[in-house]
Structure 1
Amino acid sequence: MDSPSKDPPVAPFILFGVVMALASLPFLSALPSFQVHSEMTDLLAGDQRSLSSFKDANSQLANTIGSQSAVVLVSIQSEDVFSPKTISQIVKITTALTASSNITHNFSLASPRINPSFKIDSTLSTLALHSRLSANNLALIGHGDFNGTRSSLGNLVHAAAIVGPALIRDTHQLKSAELSVVQKTLIRARVLSQQAQLAGAALSLAHHATNEWSRFEEYNIKPFIPLTQWIKTVLNREANAPALALGDIRQKIKMEIAAVKQIEKTYDRPIFRFDFTSIFPKPITQLSPDEINDIRKWTTQFPFFRNLIVDGQGRNAMIFAFAQKGPTNRVAKAAFCRDINERLQPFRDAGHDIRVLSFPHGEVETMEYLEQDLKRFAPAMFGIVFIVLLITFRGSLRLVLFVMTLQIAGIALTLGLAPSMDSHVSPFTAPLFPLLAGIHLTLLIHMGTALQTALRSGHSGDNALSAMLGQIFQPSGYAALTTCVGLFSLTFSEVRPTAEFGRLGAAGISLLFALTFGPGIVLLKLLGGLQPLPQRKIDHTTQWLESLPMRLAGKQTIIFAATTITLVVIIVGLQKIRTDIRIVEFLNPQSNTRLSLESLDQSYGGINFAKLEIDTGKKGGVRSGEFFGLVNHLHEFTSKQSGVSMTYSLGGLIKASDEIIQRDLPRLAALTPASLRASIMLDQFDQPEVRKDLPLLDSLYNRTRQKGWFVLRTQDLPSREYITMLKAVETEAKQAAPEGWKISMQGPIQAIQKADRQIVESQKGSALFTTILIALVLAVLWRSAPLALLAFTANIIPVGLVVAVQGLADVPLNSITIMVAAIAFGVAVDDTIHFITHWQLERKRGAGTREAVLRTLRVKATPIISTTVILMAVMGVFSLASFPPVVAFGWLSAIGYLTALTSALILIPAALCWRK
């Protein structure tokens, strides 16, 4: 038996325990502040596609309804959503939803304001026409004094009819020689009078004609003088003459449009109005089958209805319910979702297939699943811990009580640590706490078994505690350090949940180590019972564990062959590793949110939206023909791309709206050019009431009309296929765009590539940091590079095997599974540290190489097996989780710990036996 003086004294640990107990009070006081956040930004932290869509949707709602608004999507499935029965149910569901004072707006097949239409205010249009004709001197075109002309001409004709014959007769009579002078004088006077009458009538007509010609010039020729100037300009030989003429014409048109807008402003109503009515012109029960079929055909083909409020087959209909004020905290979110669900439940009870999707529903459901997981985790963990402790400590209730007490204290401290560090705990970082509890438990088991070993060696009281500390304090410290290194390496990740996991985990391990060797020592002393124990007989299990490494030590070929096969498997598996971060893969396969997302993806043409930005470089650029030509070309190009279900753009909206104008106002469509109709429609789209009914507008162009967006809707494609498709569209747009325009889809592409790069770089960075630092720690601990290399190799192979299994099992790298390698390596190397450290101790006591291995197996086999079983059990508990990445994290880690156990108790003992 070694002298107690060689082991650490107990007093400093007792003092540290008291100080540590006092220092722990702030963490315990922060425990009530602990909470798990389930906001969408937390749930989507790793899914850049969905996170981008979420932020875009939020900004649209803020622009159209309000910054605190929320939208609820309600999908109803039916054989025919246009049947009177289904439409009636949609009306009832909408009525039930809008009965809530918070639901202020809805959008569905049954909405009274959904069918776009164009109308003209005939009274105001007539008034505006007369006003502009007068302003341009066109009101009197064709006007004249027709009554005056008729009167003057009538007077002349009348005079000619009355005076003419007499004038002719008198003129002829003057030629007679028989007339006297007096007679001739009288006749001449009469002729002069008659001529004067005719001349007066003729002069009156001439004067009137002169006036009418002046009026004709003023009203009919003068207004068209500018047009003659434009014609002359066009006929000019200068190269830019036609362009100048057309520019003048455009300027004149703009002036007239501005004047008409001023008239609309004066009368506070538009002449040309974009309005919304019901899809059904009369109650659906009064519609004929042909009328319903026409409505079905138009609705399922209209690009801004298809796959938004109804799918292309007419089997699924969507109700958009907009809440003026969305819930802002967990209680309010739960109440909001409960209210929506209660309003929909009667329809579900009636047999209707209804899916609900909203951000609050996803957040609340995630928290509910997490709470269910915790309810399953707690009894499972307690049962595992209690059974393993009883087996490990051979029924020592004091040690079981000691471990359980420190476990409870450790859990409380780590939970209080989170708010103290201002850590943002999400459902995907919450598994850290049972993991910390499991790691803490392994440390406590090593302490308990070391204490029992000291008691069986004849020590008692403080001497037993001192002997225990001499055996495990240093290796436990290094083991905790390597675990901290593995966790701390995750803090370098750019994926927020992963970095948070690592930061909080490293701090938690440090805190638990201090708790164990501070207050833990005090608790052991207070519990008492530190009396010598009888020596334990070597059982069959121990004999088998001793003999197996010895037998394998002489069969190096088998070990090398097994190692080679393992390396081949690792290489093959690593080639199959993929990064694919999608929100549906984070959710429980049976969760309503995931089922709704999958239904939306399958029935409505996809859940992913990507935006190609087109910057024309000038305000109003999206009005140009070049812009519309480009987006029309992109519509045609993307229609041939695999995975693209729908495309949306300002050009597509204008085209669809123009079809409505031709339907509603065929005469206006025939009399006005397409460019003018497009300009009128753009002005209508800027009306607040129109933007409220068409929230998609903010995704199509900005308010200055300099930038437009070409929006692609796709199904939930794997990242690689998705990026390939986006790059193809971006390349085509750059080639087709006018010179000087900026085309970019870098937002979504970079987001996804960044997410994938973050995952890969995090895996590489954490693995490199962990391996280098742990190798250095081991070399310092044992002061032996060969031993450090042996431990490093023995543990890197199991971890590599875990990563390979991940690839072979097609488990994607995401913000949860990337932590497996670093954590598994940091935790698995703990057993190696305890084994080799004790082996060195036995060697210092004079044991030979093989004898030191046997003695180490007798002392360390049980705690190593127990700790591995506990860690595997904890990871096995994760299989009860509702989130697939957490489940994968659990079973992958369990495989890592199992292979690390094999390495610690078989490979390392065999390798140590080969040492001379």
Structure 2
Amino acid sequence: MNRLGALYDRLIFPHPVLVLAVFGLLLGLSAAKFGQFRLDASAESLVLENDRSLEQYREVNRRFTTSDDFLVVTYTPNNELFSDAGLERLRSLRDELQSVDAVGSTNSILNVPLLHSPDLSLDTVDSEIKTLDGDDVSPETARKALLDNPLYPNLLISEDARTTAIQVNLPTPNRYFELLRERDALREKANAGTATASELAELERVKEAFINYTATLGEERDATIREVRNILEQYRDSAEIHLGGVPMIVADMIRFIENDLSTFGVGVLAFLLLTLAVIFRQWRWVLVPLLCCGFTVWLMIGMLGWAKWPVTVISSNFISLLLIMTLSLTIHLIVRYREFQHDEPKAKPRTILRQTVMAMIKPCFYMAITTIVAFGSLTFSGIRPVIDFGWMMTLGLTVAFLITFVIFPALLALLPPPLDRRVASDRIPFTDAFARFTERHGTTVLTGSAILAILCAVGIHKLTVENSFIDYFKSSTEIHQGMITIDDRLGGTTPLDVVITDDKPPEGAGASDDPFASSCDPFVEDCGDDEEYRDTWYTYQKMSKLEDVHRYLDSLPETGKVLSINTTLDILAKINRGEPLDALELAFVPAAVPDDLQDILLTPYISEEHDQARFTIRILETMPELRRQALLDRIHQHLTNELGYKEDQVLFAGMTVMYNNMLQSLFDSQIKTIGVVFLAIMAMFLLLFRSLKLALVGMAPNLLAAGSVLGLMGWLGIPLDMMTITVAAITVGIAVDDTIHYIHRFKVEFSKDSDYLATMHRCHRSIGQAMFYTSLTIISGFSILVLSNFIPTIYFGLFTGFAMFMALVGALTLLPRLIVLVRPFGPGLGS
């Protein structure tokens, strides 16, 4: 400590202006990359580390020429839809949406084939197809044709024909996929250790190009969605209109988070400033914490910009947490400074400042390093955005500690605060009351803690990991209302693909050189089992099995619209005088479907090149009983056990799968993370306090605080999701701060008279005040987050406040009671 004090005496205390000037240059350097700071809510940011689901999802889309890059506009006119005026109004809206630059095409009831002509047959399908756009079809005829077609109800039109949908396709440019494939190929080589120096350099170039292109694409996509919304606004006077789709969900999530970062960031700061002003009543004690917090966030944003490290939905909370941690450090310094000022009113300001820094740097370092360990444990989660969050907080806490112990003393050296005569009268009855209660009712404290621990355990047992995107948004938001409309009237929201791979015979097995040697006559019977006819999906037996799959998927309560090749066959059966296609007609289906309908009726469902059939399903996100993993397990079990497909023949893909993979990893990840956190903190306590007894005592309030938050979530039925997974680690990080400060101060005070009870009272009146001020300031500041439209932000604000409260109560009751009971510092007086 003497060397550290000499360093302060030589560099910081005599040269505060120089220190701040050098730091100002650092801030300027950071500000140069503010423009590179960005939010990322793409599919890549939400998948597990090394999860192949994203690549499988992209591969399925490529093979079946499909994409989820489209917006859905739901349109429910105030008047009749199927009238000349109603259809003309819909056409006007469609045309305006089609004119948007980034829109590739639109699908609606206006341009899809109606297949209603009485002269329509398999032979004339190419010439007799009509559309509302291209032919003179009466509204009532069109209405009947659309509802009679197996493809359109609950997809483009509701079953009551009151609501229709316009699919606005936003094609992703080929350049995106070129860069993606190039990056992934080079990354695989780098991970395998086979990349050359030039390939590693090329990887860095491609990664930067991909990041820049993705950011540009995101900005263009946001502008497109804003333009679409402006168009929709002009039609809301005559219709109920909602906007949905994966791109819109992503854009709105980013928009809500950006608004929270700016609007609520300012609001949180305002609340913090107000609370600091009320507590300390000196402008320096408002300005200095504000500057320290602001500088920490400033530097971190600049660092993330320089590193081109995007912030995800999960790690977006890192700014709020840095405010908490930096504020906690500065408040502890302020309270200690005021104590020294009160104890030595005639001492010089630099002397007081030096005493404060030397007294607090050790416990604050312990606090920072232990909290870093708590957040660093998130890197074991296996979830990419959670891992990133752990690293960001590790770096951020390091920056916060350095700024607090460099900039705080430099600012006070320039602006020494006057003696505040009110310090002696500022004793908080709240903390004194806790000291008296702990002394007189120690048994009650221990019993209450034990009961609370049991309630926490029961609550944790009730935790679930199911959640849906709709639960992230308030019911008043457009995204929430749009999801309900799409689920209720248009067949479901979240896409799920079930892909069946054909079971091919071994090469050369059973093949005959004589084309007439087969005993099967395909003109009369099904030849599905005959080796000569197993190179195509269009056999009676295979289509019959696919129909069983389709019927099962459609029967599930969690599924909305189900589409497959069987939907196409139902359409062709209607064209074929209502008769199912026979074996010969099935064989000629690819030739019978016109070229301009292939991309609607065939290629989305059958890939002959890859021997795969695809079922596309929309999951009902608004269903309260939705359990994704149970649903996927049930489907897989039925297909393999009941329908006879092999394990490797069945593949699940789509946003539902990726989101579910992440959700299902949360519980294991939470257990793993919490386990690592407590093991690491236990090790840190042993290292810091060099006493197993004291380390165990220090762990108790941390366990109770973390358990209280998770238990409360369980009792309230709030599931673990991609945001709330971090709550436990955050709680431990906060509780550890109070524990370390209290134990360190108890050790210092105990050395004065070796009286445990007297030491407890002194600690409650000194460090207890700092803990109370920190908790009060943060709870007040973060209470404003309940006004957000983004439910995870609301949960973050509420649980952060609750965590601060539980950490404070545990540190002021259970912790001192255990110290008095266990006596880890020796027998003490009266033993």
Q: TM-score per shorter chain, which class?
A: 0.7 to 0.9
Confirm whether residue 734 of structure 1 aligns to residue 621 of structure 2: no
1:74-473 equivalence runs, <5 A? 74-78=73-77, 81-100=81-100, 102-111=102-111, 113=113, 115=115, 273=126, 276-278=129-131, 283=136, 292=140, 295-323=142-170, 328-349=216-237, 351-393=238-280, 395-458=281-344, 459-473=347-361
Change (3 A) 1:817 1:116: farther
- In structure 2, give the amino acid aligned to 1:72: L
Q: Percent identity?
A: 18
**Which is further off, 432-441 or 554-563?**
554-563
Distance 1:534 1:490 in 2: 45
SS of equivalent residue, structure 2 residue 241: strand
Asked if the contact 1:119–1:274 (Cα under 8 Å) also holds between the matched residues in 2, the reply is no
Change (3 A) 1:655 1:815: same
- In structure 2, give the amino acid aligned to 1:732: H
Shift of 1:474: 0.6
Change (3 A) 1:10 1:463: farther
Aligned to 1:644: 559
Distance 1:718 1:8 in 2: 64
Aligned to 1:838: 745
Asked if the contact 2:325–2:400 (Cα under 8 Å) also holds between the matched residues in 1, the reply is no
- In structure 2, give the amino acid aligned to 1:657: L
Larger Rg: 1
1:695-844 equivalence runs, <5 A? 697-704=602-609, 706-716=611-621, 717=623, 721-735=627-641, 737=643, 742-747=648-653, 751=658, 754-844=661-751
- In structure 1, give the amino acid aligned to 2:618: R
Distance 2:368 2:723 in 1: 22
Asked if the contact 1:438–1:870 (Cα under 8 Å) also holds between the matched residues in 2, the reply is no
Distance 2:164 2:626 in 1: 31
- In structure 1, give the amino acid aligned to 2:373: V
Q: Deviations over 1:444-486 (max 9, x none)?
A: 1111121222222323243222211232111101111122122
TM-score (norm 1): 0.74
Shift of 1:375: 4.2
Q: Deviations over 1:614-649 (max 9, x none)?
A: 222347331222211101222343444333333322
Q: Deviations over 1:110-130 (max 9, x none)?
A: 2275548899999xx9xxxxx
Change (3 A) 1:739 1:835: closer
Shift of 1:574: 1.2
Distance 1:28 1:357 in 2: 38
Distance 2:75 2:583 in 1: 40
Distance 1:527 1:25 in 2: 21
SS of equivalent residue, structure 1 residue 74: strand
Asked if the contact 2:74–2:166 (Cα under 8 Å) also holds between the matched residues in 1, the reply is yes
- In structure 2, give the amino acid aligned to 1:634: V
Shift of 1:353: 0.7
Aligned to 1:135: none
Distance 2:162 2:105 in 1: 24
Aligned to 1:674: 582
Shift of 1:838: 0.9
Distance 1:426 1:739 in 2: 39
Confirm whether residue 564 of structure 1 aligns to residue 470 of structure 2: no
SS of equivalent residue, structure 2 residue 315: coil
Shift of 1:758: 1.7
Distance 1:390 1:732 in 2: 65
**Which is further off, 457-466 or 570-579?**
457-466
Distance 2:11 2:422 in 1: 28
Shift of 1:492: 1.8
Confirm whether residue 634 of structure 1 aligns to residue 549 of structure 2: yes
Asked if the contact 1:438–1:874 (Cα under 8 Å) also holds between the matched residues in 2, the reply is no
Shift of 1:803: 0.5
SS of equivalent residue, structure 1 residue 72: strand
Shift of 1:650: 1.5
Q: Deviations over 1:160-215 (max 9, x none)?
A: xxxxxxxxxxxxxxxxxxxxxxxxxxxxxxxxxxxxxxxxxxxxxxxxxxxxxxxx
Which of 778, 785, 806 matches 1:871? 778
Shift of 1:860: 1.2
SS of equivalent residue, structure 1 residue 517: helix
Distance 2:415 2:356 in 1: 16
Across the two proteins, how many residue pairs are aligned to each other?
743
Asked if the contact 2:438–2:816 (Cα under 8 Å) also holds between the matched residues in 1, the reply is no
Change (3 A) 1:730 1:584: same
TM-score (norm 2): 0.81
Shift of 1:21: 3.0
Aligned to 1:656: 571
Shift of 1:43: 7.4
Shift of 1:491: 1.9
CA RMSD of aligned residues (A): 3.8
Change (3 A) 1:759 1:118: farther
Gaps of 5+ in 2: 174-213, 505-533
Confirm whether residue 491 of structure 1 aligns to residue 379 of structure 2: yes
- In structure 2, give the amino acid aligned to 1:677: E
SS of equivalent residue, structure 1 residue 818: helix
SS of equivalent residue, structure 1 residue 76: strand
Asked if the contact 2:37–2:302 (Cα under 8 Å) also holds between the matched residues in 1, the reply is no
Shift of 1:564: 2.7
Distance 1:804 1:741 in 2: 38
Distance 1:808 1:278 in 2: 55
Distance 1:80 1:54 in 2: 43
Change (3 A) 1:608 1:698: farther
Aligned to 1:476: 364
Shift of 1:12: 5.9
Q: Deviations over 1:637-694 (max 9, x none)?
A: 344433333332223312322321437xxxxx99xx733332332135583x3344x1
Asked if the contact 1:114–1:277 (Cα under 8 Å) also holds between the matched residues in 2, the reply is yes
Change (3 A) 1:546 1:728: closer
Shift of 1:590: 2.7
- In structure 1, give the amino acid aligned to 2:542: F
Asked if the contact 2:44–2:54 (Cα under 8 Å) also holds between the matched residues in 1, the reply is no
Confirm whether residue 36 of structure 1 aligns to residue 38 of structure 2: yes
Distance 1:330 1:724 in 2: 34
**Which is further off, 576-585 or 101-110?**
101-110
Shift of 1:544: 5.5
**Which is further off, 728-737 or 448-457?**
728-737
Distance 2:167 2:118 in 1: 24
Asked if the contact 2:558–2:626 (Cα under 8 Å) also holds between the matched residues in 1, the reply is no
Q: Deviations over 1:794-818 (max 9, x none)?
A: 2211210110100111111011101
Distance 1:466 1:740 in 2: 73
Asked if the contact 1:552–1:910 (Cα under 8 Å) also holds between the matched residues in 2, the reply is yes
1:876-895 equivalence runs, <5 A? 876-895=783-802
Aligned to 2:485: 599
Change (3 A) 1:48 1:884: farther
Asked if the contact 1:87–1:109 (Cα under 8 Å) also holds between the matched residues in 2, the reply is no
Q: Deviations over 1:549-599 (max 9, x none)?
A: 234323233123312321221122112101014222233433322321221
Gaps of 5+ in 1: 126-270, 664-668
Q: Deviations over 1:800-845 (max 9, x none)?
A: 0110100111111011101011111111221121111011011223
- In structure 1, give the amino acid aligned to 2:763: T
Distance 1:904 1:547 in 2: 14
